[in-house]
A and B are shown apart, each in its own frame.
Chain A
Amino acid sequence: MIKSCILLILFFSFSISADILYEFENLEDEKRFYNLIKEVRCPKCTSGSLASSNAPVSEDLKQKIIELIKKGKTDKEIKVFLTSRFGNDVLYNPGFNQNTYFLWIAPILFLIVGLMMFVIRKK
């Protein structure tokens, strides 16, 4: 019985190893990388982040981000690089500029209108 158990274990034993996907010089860089890829949209996907995508262009972009981090670029510089290549849509968090100001101001406008209505109704 024991013999056959050992045989069975040997038969089904296999080695499990994980390759290191991305290599970093320190933990801080690794953290930055994983935060960044959550904030960047995969240019080829409907609305997935780089972190969620294995599309070839996403893999390339992840490698590029690692390369830029290793070169000592800041998160802001990396985002500027990405938006200059792939447009503002590549970031989930749209910056405040002439194309997006309405997006940012609209909720405040609606709130003011709502408050005005409320006040007038009360009167």
Chain B
Amino acid sequence: MKVILRATLITLPILFFTFFYLYINEDKYYPGADFRTFEMPIFEINNLYDGSNISNNDLRGTYLINVWASWCITCRVEHGFLSRLSNEGIPIIGLNYKDKKDDAISWITKFGDPYELIIHDLKGELALDMGVTGAPETFLLHNGNVIAQYRGEVNKMIWKDVFIPVIEKEEIFNND
């Protein structure tokens, strides 16, 4: 009995500290990253530019979906990197979040449009269904499923550590 007790008393703190050591030193850990897979919610929302309908049928294939708004300062910060990704051939869909149409269009005209198309989610309904808590957020959509999500600014480091591993694993965007 005493042996068991001694063993437990020694093992428990060791396990405890090992657990925290590993947890703290996990260098690829990003609190904003989420790799749960979920089906893209069914939606039908207007195109920002011409008001035409955009639905799930328009998003067949593989895309990045970037949630942005003209009032969002961090979106301005990540905009350069998104433009670079777009120039490298990564197809990006813009999800304009709770923004006035005119503000959004003048913002995108001023800073450049890296998006293949822009969904105008005025009330944030689709965004809520996708689990968006604010802007910017970026989703990786593959064959109708969201396979990676990042809450916050996507930059070179986040792209490399959060998105690239999933992209390589799923063997998508092979053309670049």
Residues of A in contact with B (beta carbons under 8 Å apart)? 43-44, 56-57, 60-61, 64, 84-87, 113, 116-117, 120
Contact = CB atoms under 8 A, between A and B. Distances in A.
Nearest to A113: B8
Contacts of B133: 43-44, 57, 86
A116 B8 contact: yes
B5 A116 contact: yes
A47 B130 CA distance: 21
Q: Main secondary structure on chain A at its contact with chain B?
A: helix
Given A56-B98, A113-B12, A120 B1 contact: yes
Contacts, number: 41
Given A60-B124, A60-B128, A113-B5, 13 more contacts: A43-B131, A44-B133, A44-B134, A56-B98, A56-B134, A57-B124, A57-B132, A61-B128, A64-B128, A85-B129, A113-B9, A116-B5, A120-B1
B28 interface: no
Contact of B131 (A56, A86, A113, A117): A86
Given A60-B128, A85-B129, A87-B34, A120 B134 contact: no
B110 interface: no
Nearest to B36: A87
Contacts of B129: 85
Contacts of A120: 1-2, 5
Interface residues of B, number: 19
Contacts of A43: 131, 133
Contacts of A56: 98, 124, 134
B75 to A, nearest CB: 16
B38 interface: yes
A44 B128 CA distance: 13
A83 B140 CA distance: 19
B5 A117 contact: yes
A17 B134 CA distance: 32
Nearest to B128: A60
Could you say which of B9, B12, B128, B130 has the most chain A C-beta atoms within 10 Å of its C-beta? B128
